[in-house]
């Protein structure tokens, strides 16, 4: 029985890409505000804060808050909580931050697996393993390439040992 975990490289990649996207959106909003100030100088020359400025700053604050809460707090907690255990008899997936979730699949009920690797998955760890069984499907998220290959190989060996393949 071996335990596998989600690879932290995918968390780093998600953080960097989301930071770049949010930075691009904030820069675009700043240029939009500058454009509006040039287009309507009389409206923006008023001494009080204008409605477009309030809306743009509210969007910026919302994006930054969502980034901090989700990618800096919640997602790392999820990465720490998720684990995949594969034995000769069963597959167990444990996850959850606030509500713990444990899924069991008997190896005898597994029908097939599907391995999904995104481009540059060696660097991003965007590898997913779909395990289809009688009555359901489990997904193993963000596995390293070696872990995904090892889990898939163990399941394929169990499938071929029971016949039919």
Segment 61-90, tens digit of pLDDT? 999 999 999 999 999 999 999 999 999 899
From the number of C-beta atoms within 10 Å of its C-beta (0-12, 13-18, 19+), residue 126 rates as buried
Which tokens is 114 given?
């599907």
Q: What is the pTM of this model?
A: 0.81
Q: Label residue 104 by pLDDT band (50, 70, 90).
A: very high
How many alpha carbons lie under 13 Å from residue 36 in its C-beta half-sphere?
A: 15
Contact 3, 85 (CB under 8 A): yes
Mean pLDDT value of segment 83-108: 93
d(CA 141, CA 106): 19
Mean pLDDT value of segment 130-156: 92
Residue 160 has pLDDT above 90, yes or no: no
Structure confidence by residue, pLDDT tens digits, 40-64: 888 888 778 888 889 999 999 999 9
Which tokens is 46 given?
């008023």
Looking at every residue in the chain, the average pLDDT score rounds to 91
Mean pLDDT value of segment 124-139: 92
Q: Which residues pair with 93 in a beta bridge?
A: 84, 103
Domain ranges, ordered by start, for the chain: 1-165
Contact 9, 125 (CB under 8 A): yes
Q: Label residue 164 by pLDDT band (50, 70, 90).
A: low
Contact 131, 110 (CB under 8 A): yes
Q: Which class is domain 1-165?
A: mainly beta
Query: Which residues are within 8 A (CB) of 80 and not within 5 positions of it... i.e. 6 or more apart?
Result: none
């Amino acid at each position: 029985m071996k335990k596998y975990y989600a690879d932290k490289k995918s968390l780093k990649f998600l953080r960097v890409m989301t930071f770049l996207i949010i930075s691009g959106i904030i820069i675009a909003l700043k240029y939009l505000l500058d454009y509006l100030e040039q287009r309507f100088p009389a409206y923006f020359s008023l001494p009080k804060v204008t409605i477009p400025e309030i809306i743009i700053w509210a969007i910026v604050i919302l994006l930054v808050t969502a980034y901090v809460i989700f990618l800096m707090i919640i997602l790392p907690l999820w990465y720490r909580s998720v684990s995949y255990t594969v034995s000769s008899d069963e597959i167990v997936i444990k996850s959850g931050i606030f509500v713990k979730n444990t899924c069991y699949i008997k190896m005898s009920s597994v029908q097939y697996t599907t391995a999904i690797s995104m481009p540059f998955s060696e660097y991003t760890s965007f590898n997913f393993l779909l395990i289809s069984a009688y009555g359901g499907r489990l997904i193993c998220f963000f596995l390293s390439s070696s872990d995904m290959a090892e889990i898939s190989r163990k399941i394929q060996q169990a499938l071929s040992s029971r016949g039919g393949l």
